[in-house]
Structure 1
Amino acid sequence: MAENSSIQWTDHTFNPWIGCTKISPACDNCYAELYDNRFSKQSRWGSKAARTRTKNWGYPKKWNAIAQHLGVRNKVFCASLADVFDNHPSIDRSWREDLWSLIRQTEHLDWLLLTKRPQNITKFLPHDWSEGYKNVWLGTTVENQTEYDRRVPVLSDIPAEKRFLSMEPLIGPVTLSKPEKINWIIVGGESGSSFRPINPQWVRHIRNQCKTNNIHFFFKQWSGRNQRALKGLGRELDGLIYDERP
């Protein structure tokens, strides 16, 4: 749970439950698993490990009240330590029902639901989804061309207020095909002792495609061993900081 999140592209993070299973190259050096294992003695990662529901479900209502009072909209990255559309059997149906109820009650927050499993989204949407909730943005992770080609067409076919891509960690070049249904692309390099270096040309190529297709472009970070190294590199791309948001 993080109020005033350190993740540059969101205001808050909220985890309804914790735990996941690695499914693609972006997961190889999973920061969420490493982070959780530092603080929890309970294994929640992998296909055989049960996910656990969190207890701090009151925070989003607090954030919503503050946003309403200030007359602003705040973004909530939902499930930084899980995947909302994970179909693991330990995730009780009531957990998702409670999450959708919470989202409906917090209309002054824009919920960013990011998944590596867009093929599961339709199965787990609420009964009243129709053309999408006005305060929910659906997103998928894209680390290379293979996952772009696999995930983005699925995401594009699902009704949503906005759709976004998190290209973090970006580990290969990506060419956008039929990107007209994507509103926002976040790009970032990998961090950690086993980081895979990001190529500036990959980032430039995506930035240029975003300009051509009127997609908001957000560059989060380069790649490096730790936060100190990342801060030293800064966030500039060709002398500019890209903080675009829809």
Structure 2
Amino acid sequence: MKLSDQGLPPGYNFILPAVDEGAVRADLSGTVSLVGGELLWNVTVGCSGGSPACADCVAKPYWERWSRSNGYYVDADSWGNVIAYDYAVRVEPARWPQQPQRILVAPAGDLFNDKVPDAFIDRVLLVMQQHPQHTFYLLTKRAQRMKAYLAARARGVIAAENRSDTALRGLKWPLSNVCIGISCENQLTYMSRVRHLVETPALRRFVVVEPMLGPVRLDQVPLETRDILWPLKGIVQAYRGQDAQGRLHWEPLDQPLLEVPAIDWVVVGGYRGAAVRPMHPHWVRTILRSCQRENVPFFFKGWGDYAPTAVLDLSGDETLVIVSHDGTLRGRGVGSSTNFLAVQTEPVPDVHMTRRSDGQMRDLLDGRRYRQMIRDVAGKRVRLVDCSDLARMLHRLSNPQATVSGPVTATPAVANDSAMDASASAERQRPIADWLRHTIGKPLR
């Protein structure tokens, strides 16, 4: 397929050449799409990376093909260049069908990259406002910038360069046809981004865990003051203090310190690419159970290039990998000389994964497909929420009914056991840094 001199052709879902004979999928639309079936709107191309999931980025070959086709020089450092693609904003919306479509914004980049100016993002939002029949998905790793930008738009602020434009002066936010989301790959990236997500003004929010590189606990985010953010429930649980024996306690979940916007949708997917980083099925099941408890729609995209297998070819399968719950990889697929390795069964059994699995089984979790979509938000109201340490403390001081963090002399009513794993509460007599590390690292149930 040859690109025109004016820009991307209709559809712009390129067919990339297979890297090797074992490549399962060469269609880019299957690797950079959200859940499949979206139109890809490439308003920005290129990314400066910086995340653990960026080592084998599926969008990088697309960027290189796009750059060469448009006369840009490509070398080892060019991936850090970000293009705000003006043609995509001016011309491509006219090509979209009139019927409602799901449109993924900047699949080969990040609209909220620091190199993309606010004035350009204003114009992208205006196109979304002018096409209310379509649903747009804004997905970013830069949740802090997204929060700052969209909070300013909610207050009616636009970039100085656009203030003379009548149409842009009428730009509104939030828009009912726009869903905002964060992508993450492990517990630390999730914790660092989800707080910004719930503080961002929007009608719908989602989390994409792809590629999943380790266990992720979506339901609880311990904060620096020992309060607990529950993103799926939409609350902040107050830390009550310590009793005379030094045990930590929290307020009951039905008496939250703050109510915050809850996550509306969760998407999970495995790793695709040359590097070998398959995910353990127990990680996915844990997120599924958390979503089911809170009635949050869950979409499983699939295992990626590696999928679980029960039919073992220990002598001939060069791609076989044994995955432990802690992320340890063994087997010939990661360079071991043999597949005959002891398999652990406690506390969570190891699993065998291979590139040779049946392609039709790659999106099944325990024999079932999970493809729930985000729900409608008709009539939903938008709240601007500040979950910062200062905001929570001010809320405590201004609310006489709210608890004040600190030691207590009498044994308080123990918070709901599900708030944290209560079995470990007696051990929580360590400094806050140790407590955070303990909370993040303990096994998921």
Structure-2 separation of matches of 1:209 and 1:61:
41
- One of 65, 79, 93 as aligned partner of 1:45: 79
Spell out the pairing of 1:204-223 with structure 2 (5 A cutoff). 204-223=285-304
- The alpha-carbon deviation at position 23 of structure 1 amounts to 1.7
- One of 187, 191, 195 as aligned partner of 1:149: 191
- The alpha-carbon deviation at position 3 of structure 1 amounts to 6.7
Cα contact 1:113–1:138 (8 A) shared by 2? yes
- The alpha-carbon deviation at position 10 of structure 1 amounts to 4.6
SS in structure 2 at match of 1:194: coil
- The alpha-carbon deviation at position 93 of structure 1 amounts to 3.9
SS in structure 1 at match of 2:212: coil
Structure-2 separation of matches of 1:14 and 1:36:
14
Structure-2 separation of matches of 1:139 and 1:114:
5
More displaced 10-residue stretch of structure 1: 207-216 or 4-13: 4-13
SS in structure 2 at match of 1:174: coil
Cα contact 2:45–2:82 (8 A) shared by 1? no
Deviation sequence 1:50-106 (CA, Å, 0-9, x none): 42525244333443x522xxxxx4211101111011111xx3443212211111111
Which structure dedicates a bigger proportion of its chain to helix? Answer: 1
Structure-2 separation of matches of 1:139 and 1:212:
21
Instruction: Tell me if 1:105 matches 2:130.
Output: yes
Structure 1 residues 54 and 229, CA, compared in 2 at 3 Å: closer, same or farther?
farther
Structure 1 residues 50 and 24, CA, compared in 2 at 3 Å: closer, same or farther?
closer
Structure 2 unaligned segments of length 5 or more: list them.
1-7, 14-28, 156-172, 221-229, 234-261, 307-354, 375-445
Structure-2 separation of matches of 1:121 and 1:164:
14
Structure 1 residues 228 and 20, CA, compared in 2 at 3 Å: closer, same or farther?
farther
- The alpha-carbon deviation at position 188 of structure 1 amounts to 0.5
Structure-1 separation of matches of 2:153 and 2:207:
24
Alignment-derived partner of residue 173 in structure 1: 215
Cα contact 2:151–2:201 (8 A) shared by 1? no
Cα contact 1:195–1:223 (8 A) shared by 2? no
Structure-1 separation of matches of 2:127 and 2:79:
25
- One of 45, 58, 61 as aligned partner of 1:31: 58
Structure 1 residues 239 and 77, CA, compared in 2 at 3 Å: closer, same or farther?
same
Aligned residues: 235
- One of 362, 365, 370 as aligned partner of 1:237: 365
Structure-2 separation of matches of 1:25 and 1:169:
10
Structure 1 residues 132 and 208, CA, compared in 2 at 3 Å: closer, same or farther?
same
Structure 1 residues 195 and 51, CA, compared in 2 at 3 Å: closer, same or farther?
farther
Deviation sequence 1:210-232 (CA, Å, 0-9, x none): 1011111101111317x997835
- The alpha-carbon deviation at position 22 of structure 1 amounts to 1.0
Spell out the pairing of 1:49-60 with structure 2 (5 A cutoff). 49-53=81-85, 55-57=87-89, 58-60=91-93
Spell out the pairing of 1:110-125 with structure 2 (5 A cutoff). 110-125=135-150
Q: Which has the larger radius of gyration?
A: 2
Cα contact 2:151–2:200 (8 A) shared by 1? no
Spell out the pairing of 1:173-212 with structure 2 (5 A cutoff). 173-176=215-218, 177=220, 178=230, 179-180=232-233, 181-212=262-293
Question: Structure 2-normalised TM-score?
Answer: 0.49
Structure 1 residues 16 and 39, CA, compared in 2 at 3 Å: closer, same or farther?
closer
SS in structure 2 at match of 1:197: coil
Alignment-derived partner of residue 164 in structure 1: 206
Structure 1 residues 93 and 160, CA, compared in 2 at 3 Å: closer, same or farther?
closer
More displaced 10-residue stretch of structure 1: 230-239 or 93-102: 230-239
- One of 164, 169, 177 as aligned partner of 1:135: 177
SS in structure 1 at match of 2:271: coil
Deviation sequence 1:154-189 (CA, Å, 0-9, x none): 101112111011111011111122123111111110
Instruction: Tell me if 1:12 matches 2:39.
Output: yes
Structure 1 residues 195 and 59, CA, compared in 2 at 3 Å: closer, same or farther?
farther
Alignment-derived partner of residue 389 in structure 2: none
Structure 2 letter corresponding to 1:245: M
Cα contact 1:156–1:182 (8 A) shared by 2? yes
Question: Structure 1-normalised TM-score?
Answer: 0.85
Cα contact 1:19–1:45 (8 A) shared by 2? yes
Structure 1 letter corresponding to 2:195: P
Structure-2 separation of matches of 1:122 and 1:197:
32
Alignment-derived partner of residue 70 in structure 1: none
Structure 1 unaligned segments of length 5 or more: list them.
68-72
Structure 1 residues 100 and 136, CA, compared in 2 at 3 Å: closer, same or farther?
same
Spell out the pairing of 1:76-91 with structure 2 (5 A cutoff). 76-88=103-115, 91=116
- The alpha-carbon deviation at position 9 of structure 1 amounts to 4.1
Instruction: Tell me if 1:224 matches 2:257.
Output: no
Structure-1 separation of matches of 2:135 and 2:66:
29
Structure-1 separation of matches of 2:356 and 2:273:
11
Structure 1 letter corresponding to 2:58: Y
